Chain A
């Protein structure tokens, strides 16, 4: 079974803090994605990566950056967390643009 793991299920941070969300997949997938999910807005793509050290902006990259130093790991960074970044963050990976396998999500609260 494909496994995508995320570093935390729940996270509480303060405004202005730097936040790291880690995602690891064990199936040697080239593509990895970071989404946030908010009520009424659905899943929105923040960044994705189709290879090590490669990254592409998604639909809402502002306030975020990413890092992919190894194929299995894709990190999302909030340089200076703000309250409007309170959300559920979902990481996904996949071989192509067909099936994406999601991690369990990190519910981030910024106070």
Chain B
């Protein structure tokens, strides 16, 4: 089983729709969780950290489910500019590196 798994998509959604991605991780000792965004032919950039209590930033909501070992990203009122690949990132306790998922591609269509 991969350390971090994501549905590669693509998710094709109309503008204004709500879309959600999940990411599962295999190590129950995982400590920190993040979502990064990567635009086509660009470098990844941090979108948001994922906290145990869940966190929200505008139209974006991230949640963590430790019991089922997954994190989620919800995007409300999708914009064309949200089209990108979303990378799930997990850090394991005691290690000084993180593991990236392979990404979920989102295409918002007019």
What is the interface of chain A, defined by CB distance below 8 A to chain B? 31, 33, 35, 40-45, 48, 50, 56, 58, 90, 97-100, 102-105
Contacts and interface: CB of A to CB of B under 8 A. Distances in A.
Interface size class, chain B: 10 to 19
A43 B44 contact: yes
A111 B61 CA distance: 44
**Interface residues of chain B: helix, strand, loop or mixed (majority):** strand
A91 to B, nearest CB: 9
Interface string B14-27: 00000000000000
A97 B91 contact: yes
Interface string B22-60: 000000000010100000001111100100000000000
Contact of B98 (A42, A56, A97): A97
A57 to B, nearest CB: 10
Nearest to B96: A50
Nearest to A91: B43
B43 A42 contact: no
Which of A31, A40, A42, A100 has the most chain B CB atoms closer than 10 A to its own CB?
A42
